[in-house]
Amino acid sequence: MIRVILPAHLRTLARVDGEVHLDVAGQVTQGSVLDALEARYPMLRGTIRDHRSGRRRAFVRFFACQQDLSHEPPEAPLPEPVASGAEPYLIVGAMAGG
Amino acid sequence: MSLRTCRRQNRGGIELFSGKGLPMSGVRVLVGTRKGAFVLSADGGREKWDISGPHFAGWEIYHVKGSPADPDRLYASQTSGWFGQVIQRSDDGGGTWAPVGNEFSYDGTPGTHQWYDGTPHPWEFARVWHLEPAPDDPDTVYAGVEDAGLFRSADGGQHWQELPGLRGHSSGPSWQPGAGGMCLHTIILDGPDRIYAAISAAGAFRSDDAGQTWRPVNHGLHSEGIPDPAAEVGHCVHRIAMHPSRPSVLYMQKHWDVMRSDDAGESWREVSGDLPTDFGFPIDVHAHEPETVYVVPITSDSHHFPPEGKLRVYRSRTGGEEWEPLTKGLPQEHCYVNVLRDAMAVDSLDDCGIYFGTTGGQVYASADAGDTWEPIVRDLPAVLSVEVQTLS
């Protein structure tokens, strides 16, 4: 089970409270986690990464285990504590004005 | 909607009947702001208002508009610099909402337009500025987007397809963004085949084949801020309005100049007349008087506030040229707000109501065609758009 923490606006959009728990088949990567997240919550498609290119939106960041994984490729395996569910995978709205 | 509805007319919406068969009337004002949407409702007297919102709190709501074919069907453009574009749909007049499709992919290889520095810049979708539901089908809706393009959905917003003929016009690679981005902000549907679209800063375009092919309709516009002031494209059109009973007559608020066309955009003439300034953003037409037009003069393109700090709507009853200030109930000192291009609307009750919202968060209403005004709300976030549904 993968634990995902969404930013507040996306929790509201997806109508979820607290963490999202996902089952991910095969290797746990950023891409496979986001695929599973968007399959469960289709309204999140396009809000985290581009529909077609899959590129992360500029003001969205991915953190886990005190690391910034935002610039890791989508096929890169996530840290073992994320894959085991010990640590959450954080999708963060970057701090910026507005 | 709890009332039994009976469709009586297309323009202006639906007549409502109570369970006892007594005619009811009312209006629903749909307000998009920098930090959410608000729905303001009143009966036909338009004196007591129910306010709901913020819907989608914290997001920019560029536009909310109801279907003329089904007043319970609303569409909203919800955007964020962080999370991009969401389209929301309501099937119960704004009581509940659900996200629908948000994939706006340009047709084919997008190509380039001109960037601020003159270099080619790839077309990139940023947001939906304007949603225009079709008059006869609640599931058909058009979207004007930045970078300028026109999209259409025929399934209630679930899927969007570009009408690429507009962006693919031969002038497309030369279009440049205005200060607010290169947005398609005006969509006017005139019958089954004719569509007008306006783009900042490319100008006005018309299709006579339901959006397949387009041509610029800017003859007569004169813009000092471009190398050829009378160029075919490149004009910063802010807004176009049309009265459905006189579809060949168009009114335009350009960056500078209020313009009029009597031949469906083939030619334009200036009708700024005695306005204190002809810079502004919104323009609209009285619901029952096609020669009665409203604008909100703004000091200049670098002073986005009313002249002399006095918020005045100007009304022409002669289709332009002669304008009268409408001030009763509007602040006449120390007022330095702006009124954006999509932030004015008219209802179609017998006494035509006029509505507009300001960047200061006020939404003003007039139930007597502009003679007197009252604020419905004073302290919303900056208002981006105002639409009204006439429920009568």
Q: For A71-83, write each residue's pLDDT tens digit.
A: 999 999 999 999 9
Whether residue B147 is preceded by a cis peptide bond, meaning omega within 30 degrees of 0, is yes
* Tens-digit pLDDT profile for residues B57-82: 999 999 999 999 999 999 999 999 99
- For B164, the token pair is 């690429």
For A9, the closest of B83, B103, B105 (CB atoms) is B83
pLDDT (0 to 100) of residue B147? 97
| Spatial contact of B178 and B226, defined as CB atoms under 8 Å apart | no
Cβ of residue A54 closer than 8 Å to a chain B Cβ: no
pLDDT (0 to 100) of residue B20? 38
d(CA A3, CA A6): 10
* Tens-digit pLDDT profile for residues A31-82: 999 999 999 999 999 999 999 999 999 999 999 999 999 999 999 999 999 9
CB contact under 8 A, A93 and B99: no
Residue A89 has pLDDT above 70, yes or no: yes
Cβ of residue B161 closer than 8 Å to a chain A Cβ: no
CB contact under 8 A, A9 and B58: yes
Residues of A in contact with B85 (CB under 8 A): 46
Cβ of residue B122 closer than 8 Å to a chain A Cβ: no
pLDDT (0 to 100) of residue B4? 29
Per the listing, tokens 């369970």 go with B19
pLDDT (0 to 100) of residue B9? 33
CB contact under 8 A, A46 and B81: no
Cβ of residue A96 closer than 8 Å to a chain B Cβ: yes
pLDDT (0 to 100) of residue B6? 31
Q: Which residues of chain B, if any, have pLDDT below 50?
A: 1-23
- Best mutation site among B77, B78, B79, B82 for testing chain A: the one with the most A CBs within 10 Å? B82
Cβ of residue B58 closer than 8 Å to a chain A Cβ: yes
pTM of the model: 0.94
DSSP label at residue A83: H
Q: How far is A22 from chain B (nearest CA, A)?
A: 21
pLDDT (0 to 100) of residue A88? 98
For A13, the closest of B81, B99, B103 (CB atoms) is B99
| Interface ipTM | 0.95
d(CA B85, CA B78): 6
Cβ of residue A45 closer than 8 Å to a chain B Cβ: yes
Cβ of residue A55 closer than 8 Å to a chain B Cβ: no
d(CA B235, CA B227): 11
Cβ of residue B99 closer than 8 Å to a chain A Cβ: yes
Q: How far is A59 from chain B (nearest CA, A)?
A: 5
d(CA B249, CA B357): 26
Secondary structure element (H or E) that encloses residue B22, with its range: none
Cβ-proximal residues to A87 (8 Å cutoff; 6+ apart), any chain: A3, A64, A65, A79, A81
d(CA B342, CA B154): 24
> Dihedrals φ, ψ of B68, to 5°?
-65, -25
Q: How far is A41 from chain B (nearest CA, A)?
A: 11
Cβ of residue B299 closer than 8 Å to a chain A Cβ: no
